[in-house]
Amino acid sequence: MNHVGIYLGNNKFIHASSAKKKIVITSLKEPFYSNRYKWARRLM
C-alpha cells in the first residue's frame, strides 16, 4: 500500500495527489482508484 485518503461520502475521498502536487477530492468510481481500492475502516 502506498496511498491513503479520507472517505467523504457519496463515493468521494480527499487525498494528496502526487501527479497534481496538491490536495484533491476524487471519485472512487474513477477506474484508476476503483481498480486499486483495497479496504476502509471507520475510526469513530
> pLDDT 10s digit of each residue in the chain, 44 long?
677 889 999 999 999 988 888 999 999 999 988 888 888 888 87
Nearest Cα to Cα of residue 1 among 30, 40, 31, 29: 40
Which contacts of 26-32 are long-range, i.e. CB under 8 A and separated by 24 or more positions?
A: none
In a domain, 44, yes or no: no
Query: In total, how many domains does the chain have?
Result: 1
What pTM does this model have?
A: 0.72
In a domain, 13, yes or no: yes
Q: What is the pLDDT of residue 27?
A: 94
* Cα 41 from chain centroid (whole Å): 13
Sequence-distant (6+) residues with CB within 8 A of 2 are none
In a domain, 4, yes or no: yes
In a domain, 42, yes or no: no
Domain hosting 3: range is 1-37
Q: What is the pLDDT of residue 8?
A: 92
